[in-house]
Structure 1
Amino acid sequence: MAIFKKNSLKISDDKRTQAAELTLRASIYPLCLVTILFFLWGFSYGLLDTLNKHFQNTLGITRARSSGLQAAYFGAYPLASLGHANWILRHYGYKPVFIWGLCLYAIGALVAWPCILHRSFGGFCAAIFIIGNGLGSLETAANPYITVCGPPRYAEIRINISQAFNGIGTVVAPVLGSYVFFLKTTDDPKALTNVQWVYLAIACFCFALAVVFYFSPLPEITDADMAFQAEETHANADVKPFHKQYRLFHATFAQFCYTGAQVAIASYFINYVTETRPGTSSSLGAKYLAGAQGCFAIGRFAGVGLMKFVRPRWVFLFYLTMCIVFIAPSITQHGNSGMAMLYITLFFESICFPTIVALGMRGLGKHTKRGSGFIVGAVSGGACVPPLLGAAADLNSSTAKAMSVPLCFFVAAWSYALCVNFVPSYRDTADKFTTTKIGLETGVSKDEEMGGEKGMTERTERLAVKDTEEIEKI
């Protein structure tokens, strides 16, 4: 395979490319390349959680005001996923959205430099808003791409593996913050200097990665491919008008509630441990946050292992139920006990977001690209719930009591987990995709893998994998 090859940035959505029938082997390179993006926004998200407390220290702002970072970051997601990024996705395809998102991310990182230099919290929130638009664009394309690129049977496993690298990014960022951001004291005028260099490095890396994406041969997946996939699996959910895709809208609601709760917990984790564990500094709190995010990453790999033996919808129900069970004691338990409850909660949060994406997109067919915008746009819950938790913490002078806010949102998201397991119209569509043979016994030609013109008109039938054990070995 030629790694660097100039491809067209536009493809017709009404043409079949056979990309939805890619075998596991044929999909490895594009999946690995797109998975890098998951690390990027995991790193950015983890950085934001650390900066939340850092700005409280260096700029003397309240907990409620510091949540403006999360509001700017996640508030940009609907603008991207339902607006500019989704428009590009539907009219041009996945690759242009990847390049667009990386460029926005890099521009936002550059804008952050003068804002940090002049200690402008409002200006930095504006930079974070631009970064949020970039990352929202990447998520609008990357989540559905990982879900549909390869055998449908393994969609949940693929997206959870990719999202596990997101978890690794959230671990690296707090560790970096504990040694770099909190190295200077609050009164030191150079306390924010190290933050500038981090964002400059991010900008350079993103511009370089955008060039790599431009020249990389990514298989383009069209609406026609997804309609074929829905038809072959006999899910046939896409025959309904978009406004009647009720499963999608329920998944969107669950994503809004779940993401809001997850972001709120991580955003105020350092506040929680510094308040409930006497003598804990912000730097040590950032290290504890890195440990908690480590549990989050481990939880994703553990979830992937379970999904090889148990239906993903059951794993999702179990994990989200455990989130509710363990966040509740953190409201009253302090010290190591309370922190342990949050550690376990983050472990079980791990597979919820990507699994909601995969299950919510089941059977959308020709509505896949538009539907992905709704599910990713629901990440805006991360802009709404943290301010509520921050306000509750300021009102009660306790971050521990304010953990009741994410608890309520977990319970609301739980309604989707119950429906996808016990309501036939939800459950049957999900199960039909887990038993399909698409991508397991039929492969594509080299030209099709490259997305070339010949690949759009010719289909080469070949035996790609002899049995399931060989697939899992790959």
Structure 2
Amino acid sequence: MHPPAASTTASGHSSGATPLFPLALIVSLFFLWGVANNLNDVLVAQFKKAFTLSDFQAALVQSAFYLGYFIVALPAGAFMRRYGYKSAVLFGLCLYGVGALLFWPAAAYATYAMFLAALFVIACGLAFLETSANPYVTLLGPASSAASRLNLAQAFNPLGSITGVLIGQQFIFTGVEHTPQELAAMGAGARDAFMKSEAAAVQLPYLVIGLGVLAWALVILVTRFPSVANREEGEPAAHGVLKRLLRDGRLLGAIAAQFFYVGAQVAVFSHMIRYTQATVPGTTAKEAAGFVTAGLVCFMAGRFAGAGLMKHLKASRVLALFALANVLLMAVAAFMPGRPGIYALVASSFFMSVMYPTIFALGVEGKGDDERKFAAALLVMAIIGGAVLTAAMGVASDRVGIAHSMLVPAVCFIAIFLFAQQHWQRVTAGVTA
């Protein structure tokens, strides 16, 4: 028998004690999309090998993925307002699961375009999950503990990211590497068999992920969640809010900063394996993936350290210092390839850690409830930077080499530094809190 649904307060929060099992189910979503996001870093290297792609072509993995976020963010918000948080979560999980299952036929036909289509479907599902899960967590319980619940949920995201890389490292990377010369020396039949086997390596992991995600959706479907307020916005009011937001210079600056941040983060992680193999010859993709895992551990550590610093320094000041540190680390990666550059890329994860939530918070700062919803959707759309700038870095890598292509994220971090400095100047001038 289901427990009675909790009542809802005027602010939309469920009253009474926090419903632990429903909360745990929603918190798990942060882990699940972390797995999908960082498995892409493995796929970039795997597909480059399986389909003999250029760096630009391999980077299309991220372009297809983050294009889904960009296209679906606002429709996901509209779906959520019309049908509710739980329905949006279920729809997102179904898209995620179906996209993962599409890897099986894509590998069977060994078609790169089918893989990109499957990744696009997964990304559409994750856009629904990210748009709905963040506010849903804050509403599942008393308003007084909303922030702590969301912080707990966000802590599971890097754990999912690490798990995604480990899945790729252990179950997708075969450890078999051939140089272009060795591939050219192979007979056509042997070369074709090798490439098909490398494409097929993704089948079983994504089959398990797809079935697991759909099973999780079923558990959420049969679980009763507390009722929460889900007020719909009328279209005229929505258009008015959007028009006001698009004239808000501070929000537009945050959207631009978020575009550059996501682009820089995705570009660095996507090319870390390739950078390691290119600058330390003889390193296998499986060995290079260990540096991605190390970077994600640094990412987790950076979140705790950044949160501690923000108790003593303004968020914009911490953001500026961390962005400047990453400009310097990207310069090391660009001009000192090899072990020093690899260590610089791993260390950059520490300083990237606070950027997304800090830029997000500065962007929605001072906004009312209606404006905050639409501002959040616009900031999620800025994730398209992961598609655009990762592809740009792939082009740069093909033309000037993987090491010098690290100047692309360096420029991104300069843009973030300028945004943080501008916000800091407003703070010191007393324009904003």
Alignment-mate amino acid for residue 111 of structure 2: S
Alignment-mate amino acid for residue 288 of structure 1: F
Matched ranges for 1:40-55 at <5 A: 40-55=32-47
Say whether residues 1:206 and 2:209 are aligned partners.
no
Determine the C-alpha separation between the residues in 1 that align with 2:100 and 2:149.
Answer: 29
Look up the SS of the partner of 2:102 in the other structure. Answer: helix
Which of 240, 254, 257 matches 1:254? 257
Determine the C-alpha separation between the residues in 1 that align with 2:391 and 2:2.
Answer: 45
Partner of 2:89: 98
Matched ranges for 1:331-370 at <5 A: 331-362=334-365, 363-370=367-374
CA contact (8 A) 1:17 1:222 kept: no
Partner of 1:450: none
Q: Once structures 1 and 2 are overlaid, which stretch shifts more, 355-364 or 344-353?
A: 355-364
| Deviation of 1:156 (Å) | 7.2
CA contact (8 A) 2:103 2:202 kept: no
CA contact (8 A) 1:274 1:280 kept: yes
Look up the SS of the partner of 1:411 in the other structure. Answer: helix
Partner of 1:82: 74
Say whether residues 1:179 and 2:170 are aligned partners.
yes
Structure 1, gaps ≥5 residues long: 9-14, 226-237, 432-474
Identity %, equivalent residues: 32
Which of 98, 101, 105 matches 1:107? 98
Distance 1:128 1:224, change over 3 A: closer
RMSD: 3.2
- TM-score, scaled relative to structure 2: 0.84
Structure 2, gaps ≥5 residues long: 178-193, 234-240
Partner of 2:381: 377
Determine the C-alpha separation between the residues in 1 that align with 2:324 and 2:431.
Answer: 22
Partner of 2:133: 142
Determine the C-alpha separation between the residues in 1 that align with 2:2 and 2:309.
Answer: 34
CA contact (8 A) 1:80 1:136 kept: yes
Determine the C-alpha separation between the residues in 1 that align with 2:94 and 2:285.
Answer: 33
Deviations 1:68-87 (A, max 9, x none): 1111000111211022x121
| Deviation of 1:169 (Å) | 1.7
Determine the C-alpha separation between the residues in 2 that align with 1:31 and 1:312.
Answer: 28
CA contact (8 A) 1:5 1:217 kept: no
CA contact (8 A) 1:159 1:358 kept: no
CA contact (8 A) 1:19 1:149 kept: no
Deviations 1:126-181 (A, max 9, x none): 00010111111111223344567778898777655533322122212222222221
Say whether residues 1:321 and 2:324 are aligned partners.
yes
Distance 1:318 1:385, change over 3 A: same
| Deviation of 1:58 (Å) | 1.6
Q: Once structures 1 and 2 are overlaid, which stretch shifts more, 415-424 or 35-44?
A: 415-424
Determine the C-alpha separation between the residues in 2 that align with 1:195 and 1:4.
Answer: 41
Q: Tell me which stretches of 4 or more aligned residues in structure 1 moved more than 6 Å.
A: 2-8, 147-157, 425-428
CA contact (8 A) 1:156 1:312 kept: no
Determine the C-alpha separation between the residues in 2 that align with 1:82 and 1:239.
Answer: 11
Determine the C-alpha separation between the residues in 1 that align with 2:364 and 2:132.
Answer: 13
Alignment-mate amino acid for residue 252 of structure 2: F
Partner of 1:163: 154
Say whether residues 1:275 and 2:267 are aligned partners.
no
Partner of 2:225: 217
Partner of 1:195: 202
CA contact (8 A) 2:92 2:128 kept: yes
- TM-score, scaled relative to structure 1: 0.77
Look up the SS of the partner of 1:255 in the other structure. Answer: helix
The number of equivalent residue pairs is 408
Deviations 1:80-121 (A, max 9, x none): 1022x1211222332221111111101111112100111110
Alignment-mate amino acid for residue 211 of structure 1: L
Look up the SS of the partner of 1:88 in the other structure. Answer: helix
Distance 1:93 1:245, change over 3 A: farther
Determine the C-alpha separation between the residues in 1 that align with 2:268 and 2:293.
Answer: 13
Which of 1, 5, 19 matches 2:12? 19
Alignment-mate amino acid for residue 135 of structure 1: L
Determine the C-alpha separation between the residues in 2 that align with 1:189 and 1:42.
Answer: 28
Distance 1:256 1:336, change over 3 A: same
| Deviation of 1:51 (Å) | 0.9
